Chains A and B, each alone.
Chain A
Amino acid sequence: MHLCGVFRIPLLLACVLTLAAGAGCNRKTGLTSGPFPASNEVSGWAKTGETRTFDAANLWRYIDGDAEKYLKAGVESVSTADYKYQNKVEAVVDIYTMTSGDGAGKIFDSEPARNAKAVSLGDSARLYGQSLIFHQARYLVRIVAYEGSPEVQQGILELGHGLAERLKK
């Protein structure tokens, strides 16, 4: 059966777009995809970039050098997105999906705890001057801001709570 010309072009276009979307790392173009809060879903925070996801085999493209310890702990993928706080402080959010909660806890426990305070979030969490790390079930979440202040620190904690709520869904 021959497709008529009217349908052939859109079909071809759809195929090309599908292939293009699958090339390289998986870039989710929607700013509300997955567990990442959309802009202003958490007060003061705007999502400023697309979500990028790297599977275990391509983790080195994102964290070459650090990839080994995540691979040993059973990482499945990492998703990352850029944010901005109150339209001035840039930050990046990384969500590592591990094969088990043990893997997430193992990475969490391996990281330095000095100058950090434990906060109530997920299974366990540490808040630093301008970053936050927590694990919840099989997820390990890290938020890093590029400037620090008590206000930013509080903002990071609020964003962390927003992420934790979304990860429960």
Chain B
Amino acid sequence: MDEHKAGTSRRDFLRKCVAGAVALSAAGELKLLPAQVAAVQSRVVVARDAKLRAAGSKVDSGRVFGLLDRGMQAFYGVDNPLQAWRKLARPGERVGLKVNTIAGRGLSTNVQLVDAICERLQQAGIPARDILVWDRESRELERAGFRLSSDANRARCLGTDSFGYEEQPQSFGTVQSKLSKILTRNCDVLINVPVLKDHSDSGITAALKNMYGVIDNPYSLHAGGCNPGIADLNMLPAIRTKMRLTICDATTASFDGGPSFEPESTWQHNGIILARDPVALDFIAWRIIEHKRAEQGLKTLPASGRAPRFIALAADARHQLGTNDPKRISLVEV
């Protein structure tokens, strides 16, 4: 283990959890009562660090490790971050990190966050050759600041353009799409690492919408506010069965003008959001964006004609991809 030692004392960890819960309760922003929290089924962890950026706009990579560790420990309820990573993936499994890089350097998945995830996975026993960071195109990855690599001695980083799409499309509802061979043939475990963003069509984009980057025809699924495209797409077995965790990058997020990078509509939230349930994560993500929009004096997304209806659709009886019921979401802030 190098300078980024995996470890936070149990006392520190519990203290931060309690502080987070108190802060959340005081803010009242998400309207979750303790009794409700106790009865819920989907855990969503929001980890933040006000000092994530030492100076200027770049995040401090050392503090990113701390942020990630706190988030993972809180999510899995363990004392040590490596215990958490061992619950996520086992040696012998190939782990894919689906990032989001279409908006370029200003609003793509943070490279230091991805580096930290890769390092913790290796410390937990996943060999570098079994880790693959990917998105649609290698060029997009590079533009977002990632270093491409096909070297088996380190975590690989490549786009689907290097692997291609399956010949046969997969179908569910309105979706008929060819999946990336990275997902179908090169990953046993999918860690979804999207970015928290406003979206001109779907209202917001976080966990569920990021799967538009694993198919050959995302342009065909944007009509109707991406409904039912987003919900239907996430029903495809390869997505539904392999996605084990979403770590949403909210270090820099956008509250308007998304999904493209518009500097004037972004803010430094300095956090990450973790969940296994992508619907619950998107529900919390929506609330965070609404909170920021209110701060900025903007209309709510529904009032702007951009309610993220896909969240309720993904939770409905036909899809059951997760829950959008606040009573069934256990929100933990650390």
Identify the A interface with B (CB < 8 A).
60-61, 63-69, 82, 90, 92, 111-112, 114-116, 128-131, 144-148
Contact = CB atoms under 8 A, between A and B. Distances in A.
B170 interface: no
Contact of A144 (B223, B262, B296): B262
Interface of B: 57, 102, 104-106, 137, 143, 199-202, 205, 209, 212, 218-219, 222-223, 256-265, 296-297
Nearest to B139: A52
B219 A67 contact: yes
B201 A131 contact: no
Nearest to B197: A65
Contacts of A114: 264, 296-297
Which of B57, B263, B297 neighbours the largest number of chain A CB atoms within 10 Å of its CB? Answer: B263
Which of B205, B223, B264, B296 neighbours the largest number of chain A CB atoms within 10 Å of its CB? Answer: B264
B219 A60 contact: yes
Which of B209, B218, B223 neighbours the largest number of chain A CB atoms within 10 Å of its CB? Answer: B218
B264 A68 contact: no
A128 B266 CA distance: 12
Nearest to B57: A147
Contact of A111 (B137, B222, B257): B257
Contacts of B256: 112
A92 B260 contact: no
Given A65-B102, A66-B200, A131 B222 contact: no
23 contacts: A60-B218, A63-B102, A63-B260, A64-B212, A64-B219, A64-B259, A65-B200, A65-B201, A65-B212, A65-B222, A65-B260, A66-B258, A68-B200, A112-B256, A114-B297, A128-B263, A129-B264, A130-B263, A131-B262, A144-B262, A144-B263, A145-B263, A148-B263
A69 B200 contact: yes
Nearest to A94: B260
B118 to A, nearest CB: 24
A38 to B, nearest CB: 21
Nearest to A25: B139
Contact of B257 (A61, A112, A129, A145): A112
A68 B229 CA distance: 14
A60 B218 CA distance: 8
B261 A144 contact: yes
Contacts of B265: 112
B153 to A, nearest CB: 30
Given A68-B200, A129-B264, 4 more contacts: A63-B260, A65-B201, A69-B200, A144-B261
B9 to A, nearest CB: 38
A32 to B, nearest CB: 21
A128 B258 CA distance: 16
Given A60-B219, A144-B106, A65 B259 contact: yes
Contacts of B222: 64-65, 67-68
A111 B261 CA distance: 13
B205 to A, nearest CB: 7
B246 to A, nearest CB: 18
A147 B104 CA distance: 14
Given A66-B260, A114-B264, A128-B264, A90 B199 contact: no
Contacts of B102: 63-65
Closest 4 CB pairs of A and B: A60-B219, A65-B259, A128-B264, A130-B263
A90 B199 CA distance: 24
Nearest to A62: B102
A114 B202 CA distance: 22
A50 to B, nearest CB: 11
Contacts of A130: 263-264
Contacts of A67: 219, 222
A145 B264 CA distance: 11
A122 to B, nearest CB: 19
Nearest to B199: A65
Contacts of B212: 64-65
B164 to A, nearest CB: 14
A65 B263 contact: no
Which of B212, B219, B261, B296 neighbours the largest number of chain A CB atoms within 10 Å of its CB? Answer: B219
A130 B106 CA distance: 11
